[in-house]
A and B are shown apart, each in its own frame.
Chain A
Amino acid sequence: MKIAIASGKGGTGKTTIATNLAVSLARAGRRVQYLDCDVEEPNGHIFLKPDIERVEEATVGVPQVDQSKCTGCGRCGQLCQYSAIICIQKHVLTFEPLCHSCGGCMAVCPASALTEKPRRIGVAEYGAVNGVAFGHGRLDIGAIQTPALIRHVKRGIREDAVVILDAPPGTSCPVIEALKGTDFVLLVTEPTPFGLNDLELAVGMVKTLKLPFAVVINRCDMGDDGVAQYCRREGIDIAMEIPNDRKIAEAYSRGQMMVDIQPEYAAKFCQLCEHTSGRMATR
């Protein structure tokens, strides 16, 4: 079972919920993997503190030119939709940061002057801690290929485990890449106007991806009832509500896990997983 934790709005508690859910399940004897797909700003490792056992360099393919073979036909530049390759008077220039690795220029070159070479975008790291298998990605600063690195990280998915995927914030390409192929999405929100606005966008996104989902309202007593009313109106399942707690916030600031500060949450997170399984079983 692959459960993705997403949100729309940043800072609602995705990593808090994802890490605590993973640890709670592991302590209950389940085989669990936590995969941090927020490759731009991964935070899961701060709380889980895994031993890293394997580091993989992540690359994307970009064109490499053999100028001696170039006939100057210009078809590479004509095909490219991203201005990543142009041909000026038999001289081919590439702009690797813009390349989307579609392979088009190489395929269309009549002179076999273009081959593919790898360009590093970041790393994927895998390890484990206290019964939780761990994986995350770390995008190189200045790189833009977030979805490609997320794809790479997800290649390490353990099919024999409950996989908790910690998604990045937002509603576009990176999150979609993280959510692809998962079985259920938990949308974490906060009960504020910003939280509600972004939740609506996130709901639109998961519906487009045709994924079953439920909402977790974090810090549920710190704002207004707009989110609760919206969920009721739309018939959206509120799977868990977590009250605001300064002690948990302070512990979070120190990299401590919620289930270590308030152990009764471990059972609640296990219940969340049961609830999710239950929802999936009734589909």
Chain B
Amino acid sequence: MKELVVISGKGGTGKTSMAAAFAALARPAVLADCDVDAADLHLVLDPQVRQTSDFSGGKRATIDPSKCIGCGRCAGMCRFEAVRLDGPANDVIGKTYAIDPVACEGCGVCVEFCPVKAIELDEVVNGHWFLSDTRFGPMVHAQLGIAQANSGKLVTLIRRQAREMAEERKLDLIVVDGSPGIGCPVIASITGADLVLIVTEPTLSGRHDLGRVADLAANFGIRTLLCINKADINPQMTAQIGEEARKRGITVVGEIPYDDAFTKAQILKATVVEYTGGAITERVKALWRQITYALG
């Protein structure tokens, strides 16, 4: 079983469009949407949800206003500015302390140090994850609640579920749609992956961000491939990026020209390879062949 993770560094380079196309070409494979902050893969893959589960990324503190004596110790110790003096009155004081659920990181310090044990630490449901079926294979995806934390944990969970699904259905490939950036969710997406595909664009921004995310993948010792999307926007930059990638041991597996077929396909809820049999689809197929060679 192999796991391919599609990341980018820079946002908007075409990760999801590519991952969706790979799903169509790899069929059947397990698909996993690990861009939990802004999940879009489902818009094209149209998953039929079979199982919904709660996701809890951490805990949150709540103050019982009937017990609060207004000593303010919680506010004094909270490092996340999550405690405010704006709770309801009780028999003892006109205003009690209250926890801001968005700011609270669930560290438990206020709970530990409240002299009257007025604070509880409870598991919070931050979102939901889903096991679904799509026309290309099973899919694991999620919806993080609004303004919720701990995307990294949810990403880890999705990947674990995807591996279990692959074993269960005897499928030997997992295609993971990752997120932009280099932080916690991206790290959680790539650790232990067999192959990372970076999708970039031939712009100074794309090149800058590619350098950082490639460093990240290298830190984790993961074999890295590169696809330069919208390659004709700046052919010189495409060549330069390709050269720099090869120098650092990254295989350039494709240069895909800008094509509004990607947008048109998305609007029709199709992958680009379903939308058109034209030149652009041939390029994407050639890219996929290169990736399958690398997957072994």
Indicate whether A and B interact: yes
Chain A residues with CB under 8 Å of chain B are: 8-12, 15, 38, 40-41, 43, 46, 79, 81-82, 100-104, 107-108, 139, 141-144, 146, 168-174, 176, 192-194, 197-198, 201, 204-205, 208-209, 222-224, 246, 249-250, 252-255
In the assembled complex, B295 has its CB within 8 A of some CB on chain A: no
> Which residues on A sit within 8 Å (CB–CB) of B38?
8-10, 169-171, 197-198, 201
Inter-chain pairs besides A104-B108, A141-B215, A253-B206, 20 sampled, C-beta below 8 Å: A12-B12, A40-B181, A46-B208, A79-B112, A81-B107, A100-B105, A102-B108, A107-B113, A142-B219, A144-B152, A146-B181, A168-B181, A169-B180, A170-B37, A172-B148, A192-B263, A193-B269, A197-B40, A252-B203, A254-B234
> Which residues on B sit within 8 Å (CB–CB) of A205?
146-147
In the assembled complex, B79 has its CB within 8 A of some CB on chain A: yes
B102 partner, pick from A9, A101, A174, A209, beta carbons under 8 A: A209
**Are A103 and B10 in contact, with the CB atoms below 8 A?**
no
**Are A249 and B233 in contact, with the CB atoms below 8 A?**
yes
* Binary CB contact string for chain B from 24 to 60 against chain A (1 if under 8 A, 0 otherwise): 0000000000001111100100000000000000110
Residue among A168, A172, A254 with most chain B CB within 10 A: A172
Q: Knowing A102-B79, A170-B37, A253-B233, say if A223 contacts B267 (CB, 8 Å).
A: yes
- A-B pairs with beta carbons under 8 Å apart, 24 shown: A9-B11, A9-B40, A10-B10, A11-B13, A12-B12, A41-B181, A81-B58, A103-B77, A104-B109, A169-B37, A170-B179, A170-B181, A172-B36, A172-B144, A173-B149, A173-B151, A174-B183, A192-B266, A193-B43, A197-B43, A205-B147, A223-B267, A252-B203, A253-B233
**Are B234 and A146 in contact, with the CB atoms below 8 A?**
no
> Which residues on A sit within 8 Å (CB–CB) of B12?
9-12
A50 to B: closest C-beta gap in Å: 15
Residue among A46, A171, A208 with most chain B CB within 10 A: A171
Q: How far is A10 from B209 in the complex, measured between Cα atoms in Å?
A: 13
B182 partner, pick from A103, A139, A223, beta carbons under 8 A: A139
Chain A residue at minimal CB-CB distance from B181: A40
B120 to A: closest C-beta gap in Å: 14
> Which residues on B sit within 8 Å (CB–CB) of A173?
149, 151
> Which residues on A sit within 8 Å (CB–CB) of B59?
81
> Which residues on B sit within 8 Å (CB–CB) of A11?
10-13, 180
In the assembled complex, B184 has its CB within 8 A of some CB on chain A: yes
> Which residues on B sit within 8 Å (CB–CB) of A193?
40, 43, 266-267, 269
Chain A residue at minimal CB-CB distance from B180: A10
A205 to B: closest C-beta gap in Å: 5
Chain B residues with CB under 8 Å of chain A are: 8-13, 16, 36-40, 43, 58-59, 77, 79-80, 102, 105-109, 112-113, 144, 146-149, 151-152, 179-184, 187, 201-206, 208-209, 212-213, 215-216, 219, 233-234, 237, 260, 263, 266-267, 269
**Are A169 and B181 in contact, with the CB atoms below 8 A?**
yes
Q: How far is A146 from B150 in the complex, measured between Cα atoms in Å?
A: 12
B164 to A: closest C-beta gap in Å: 23
B110 to A: closest C-beta gap in Å: 9
Across the A-B interface, how many residue pairs have beta carbons closer than 8 Å? 173
B218 to A: closest C-beta gap in Å: 9
Chain B residue at minimal CB-CB distance from A175: B37
B184 partner, pick from A79, A146, A176, beta carbons under 8 A: A146
**Are B43 and A253 in contact, with the CB atoms below 8 A?**
no
B260 to A: closest C-beta gap in Å: 7
> Which residues on B sit within 8 Å (CB–CB) of A79?
108-109, 112
Q: Knowing A40-B181, A43-B205, say if A172 contacts B151 (CB, 8 Å).
A: yes
**Are A194 and B43 in contact, with the CB atoms below 8 A?**
yes
Shortest 10 CB-CB contacts between residues of A and residues of B:
A11-B12, A10-B11, A102-B107, A170-B37, A253-B203, A40-B181, A253-B234, A204-B146, A10-B180, A11-B11
A203 to B: closest C-beta gap in Å: 9
**Are B263 and A223 in contact, with the CB atoms below 8 A?**
yes
> Which residues on B sit within 8 Å (CB–CB) of A253?
201-204, 206, 233-234, 237
**Are B79 and A101 in contact, with the CB atoms below 8 A?**
yes
Q: How far is A40 from B180 in the complex, measured between Cα atoms in Å?
A: 9
Q: How far is A104 from B107 in the complex, measured between Cα atoms in Å?
A: 8
B9 partner, pick from A41, A198, A224, beta carbons under 8 A: A41
> Which residues on B sit within 8 Å (CB–CB) of A192?
263, 266-267
Q: How far is A194 from B177 in the complex, measured between Cα atoms in Å?
A: 14
A141 partner, pick from B106, B149, B219, beta carbons under 8 A: B219
**Are A43 and B37 in contact, with the CB atoms below 8 A?**
no
**Are A169 and B11 in contact, with the CB atoms below 8 A?**
yes
B237 to A: closest C-beta gap in Å: 6
> Which residues on B sit within 8 Å (CB–CB) of A102?
79-80, 105, 107-109
A160 to B: closest C-beta gap in Å: 24
Q: How far is A282 from B19 in the complex, measured between Cα atoms in Å?
A: 45
> Which residues on B sit within 8 Å (CB–CB) of A168?
181
